[in-house]
Structure 1
């Protein structure tokens, strides 16, 4: 998510609607660049990130893909931006992910 106050307020409202209103988050938690907020536990954990390595918010927004999480419409990072992020991070897991995608 873009880490600005207006977006932070929208995220808080959405989280409240989604059942996470009582976890004690505030708008300031979503305005700090390079922050990760994790809600729930795997395999159904939601990660909210305020920045990602190698991809600007303008690129992420332009390439986003609309989908659903259950019945909830959401946006996902587009494949091109996902690959760019994986290459920029460069961990072993990211390299394996790129190989699995045929993007060695």
Structure 2
């Protein structure tokens, strides 16, 4: 079990704006009934808590499709001004 303390969390515009939070990291299993059971350390006092469940990604990777040479021939058009220099506003992050 890992114990994390957050002395100052920026909860701007939140009802928790002035609250000090404590976070616990516990590992558990989800059972067949879609339930989790946690045993907290005795140092944690009784009261309200919020629970966030982080699930490991267990999706199977999709097999890569083999690329076919020329499959996009005639479907892509490059603009006439493709090789023109971009304006300074573009590089400075300004709207062009």
TM value normalised by structure 2: 0.22
Q: Structure 1 or 2: larger helix share?
A: 1
Largest Rg, 1 or 2: 2
TM value normalised by structure 1: 0.21
Answer 1 or 2: higher relative contact order, Cα 8 Å, separation at least 6.
1
